[in-house]
Every structure is written in C-alpha cells, then in structure tokens.
C-alpha cells in the first residue's frame, strides 16, 4: 500500500516509521525540515519539505497513485484542505484526517471527511481505519465480542488449534478460494486463507500479529 502522510509531528512521524517498517511505501510531507529530520536515517520512506497542500508538492509525493492519505498535522485548516484535494481532485481511495481542535469537528462532518477524533487518536486506531491487515467486522455481538473475517497475510503454517489458543478465539469457518470449510483442530492455515472467528475485541491485536502483520495490500 502506498500511503501519504501530511504532518510530521509526533503522530505523523511515529505512524510513518511504523508503516514503513511493516513494508508499506510511505511519503511524509511537512514544511518544517527539523520535524522531518526527527525520522532519522533508519526511515526508508520519502520525506518532502514544502507547503502541505501545494499541488506541485502533492504531485511530487505521488498523490495520483496513493492508496491512502492521512492528514495528521496540528493545523485543522491544512488537514481539511489536503483531505478535500485528495478526495475531490485525485480521488484517493482512503482519506483520513485528524481533528486537532474539537470545536472544528462540525466542519469535517459537514464536508464529509472521515476523521480520527482527538480523544481517540492513536496509531492502532488509524491502522484499523485503513484496514491494513484486512480485518472485516461481520457482527458486533456486544461491547466486548465481535465476529470477524481476517485475511491470513503470511504463511504461518499454524493449526486452527494453535491460533485459537494463542489468540483466545473460536474459528468457525476457513474460506480457501471458493471453498468454505468447517475447520478441524489440526487443520493448517495458509497465506491467502480467510478465517471467520468469534473473539474479544481486546485480543484483536494478538490475532493480527499472528496471522496478518506486515501484509501489503
């Protein structure tokens, strides 16, 4: 997945490094070169210094090929402007914006911009909104339990029993190509399979880390 991040503050820089480390192609834009330097030499993505909503800068960043754009600067005006450009002009499939000042949240809502509210801000939430690990919630049973559909992104060669015990879940079906199977405990799960399981929300990260971490869409 190719992701453009606008704003290299604490959230933007941490997000850029983590997504890059997981194998995604990342470009981050900020007008402050000092913020960009915080990424260090270990960052494998592209960093661009310039006005975040400048069309030439966005073209240089490859916005016309981007799978997602995250506007996470501390300036709502920048976030709103970049989000609208990405959605309305370049039709980026997934645009998510940070609401910096809660009093401006109504502007995002009125413009139909998908947002990450300040009270919920965090890398894990953003990654789930991007659906990087291909987790689809089929049904929320209550505030604690969900039925989910998860793409197996790496060939872990684990059995159904291994996954259930390590992730505290119950696997009901395995979708392998056109086949839908009721799994046996000793059945091996392979890359490309989809598992349908019931689990507590708090164990979702354990499941993603085991079967889908680093999946590149």
Same domain for 87 and 31? Answer: yes
Give the pLDDT score at 215. Answer: 33
User: Cα–Cα distances in Å, from 46 out to 81, 86, 115, 162, 172?
Assistant: 22, 18, 24, 39, 42
| Domain residue limits at 176 | 135-211
Same domain for 166 and 75? Answer: no
Residue 216 lies in a domain: no
Same domain for 119 and 143? Answer: no
pTM above 0.75, yes or no: no
Q: Residue 18 pLDDT more than 90? A: no
Number of domains in the chain: 2
| CA–CA dist 43, 48 (Å, integer) | 13
Same domain for 68 and 121? Answer: yes
**In this structure, are residues 70 and 96 in contact, taking their beta carbons and an 8 Å threshold?**
yes
CA torsion sign for 31, 32, 33, 38 is negative
Q: Residue 92 pLDDT more than 90? A: yes
Residue 47 lies in a domain: yes
Q: Residue 147 pLDDT more than 60? A: yes
Same domain for 66 and 168? Answer: no
165 contacts: CB under 8 Å, gap ≥ 6? none
Strand order in the sheet with 25-30: 46-49, 25-30, 2-6, 68-71, 94-98, 115-116
Give per-residue pLDDT as tens, 171-180. Answer: 999 988 778 8
| CA–CA dist 161, 195 (Å, integer) | 13
1 contacts: CB under 8 Å, gap ≥ 6? 24, 25, 67, 68, 130, 132, 216, 217
What is the pLDDT confidence band of residue 43, given thresholds at 50, 70 and 90?
very high
Same domain for 148 and 197? Answer: yes
Domain end marker among 104, 130, 156: 130
Same domain for 109 and 141? Answer: no
Of 206 and 75, more confident: 75
Average pLDDT over residues 133-154: 80
């Amino acid at each position: 997945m190719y992701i453009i991040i606008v704003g290299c503050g604490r959230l933007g820089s941490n997000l850029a490094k983590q997504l890059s480390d997981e194998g995604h192609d990342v470009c981050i834009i900020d007008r402050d070169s000092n913020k960009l330097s915080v990424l260090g030499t270990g960052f494998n993505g592209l960093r661009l210094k310039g006005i975040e909503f400048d069309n030439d800068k966005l073209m240089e960043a490859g916005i016309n090929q981007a799978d997602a754009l995250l506007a996470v600067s501390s300036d709502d005006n920048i976030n709103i402007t970049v989000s609208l450009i990405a959605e309305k002009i370049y039709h980026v499939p997934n645009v998510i914006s940070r609401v910096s000042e809660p009093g401006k949240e109504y502007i995002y809502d009125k413009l139909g911009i998908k947002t990450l509210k300040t009270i919920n801000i965090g890398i894990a939430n953003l990654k789930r909104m991007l659906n990087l690990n291909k987790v689809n919630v089929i049904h929320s049973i209550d505030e604690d339990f969900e039925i989910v559909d998860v793409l197996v992104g790496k060939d872990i060669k684990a059995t159904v029993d291994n996954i259930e015990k390590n992730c505290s879940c119950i696997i009901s079906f395995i979708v392998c190509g056109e086949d839908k199977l009721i799994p046996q405990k000793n059945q091996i799960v392979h890359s490309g399979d989809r598992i349908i399981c019931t689990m507590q929300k708090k164990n979702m990260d354990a499941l993603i880390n085991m079967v889908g971490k680093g999946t590149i869409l």
